[in-house]
């Protein structure tokens, strides 16, 4: 049904609140890069209107730190646009601070805690190989 796949991979040893936070932030990046994936508003039987949601399923995977580093490297090597959340961003309180701490790290030393990508299915599967369905 969809030519693309959305995958979010989170580091498995994070606290639950951190996993949820990273997933939400990364999904907002996917939507920002592809606003066409947002559908029409929802309406219930009482005619109440609700926010639009993504029209495409999202797979949430888990991986350890080493696998996340490999997944990040694969995405960079294939030049696949992706969102990245690093551990140091947990200590900041706003977007400007997130950007500042992010800019201090490169692919070699970034402590990746989450990555999100939307690309052709086979490419996403190759990049995320080694991650597993989040429990």
pLDDT digits (tens, 9 = 90+) for 45-77: 999 999 999 999 999 999 999 999 999 999 999
- Between CA 19 and CA 90 the distance in angstroms is 11
The CATH number assigned to the domain holding 100 equals: 3.40.1490.10
Residues 6+ apart with CB under 8 A from 13: 64, 65
How many domains is the chain partitioned into structurally? Answer: 1
pTM of structure:
0.94
What was the pLDDT predicted at 135? 82
Q: Which domain holds residue 16?
A: 4-133
């Amino acid at each position: 049904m969809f030519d693309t796949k959305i995958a979010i991979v989170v580091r498995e040893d994070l606290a639950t609140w951190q996993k949820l936070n990273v997933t939400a932030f990364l999904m907002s990046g996917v939507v920002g890069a592809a606003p066409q994936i947002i559908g029409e508003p929802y309406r219930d039987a009482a005619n109440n209107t609700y926010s639009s949601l993504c029209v495409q399923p999202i797979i949430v995977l888990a991986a350890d730190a080493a696998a996340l580093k490999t997944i990040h490297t694969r995405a960079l090597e294939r030049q696949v646009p992706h969102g990245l959340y690093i551990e140091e961003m947990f200590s900041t309180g706003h977007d400007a601070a997130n950007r500042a701490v992010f800019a201090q790290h490169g692919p070699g030393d970034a402590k990746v805690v989450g990555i999100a990508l939307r690309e052709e299915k086979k490419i996403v599967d190759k990049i995320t190989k080694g991650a597993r369905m989040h429990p």
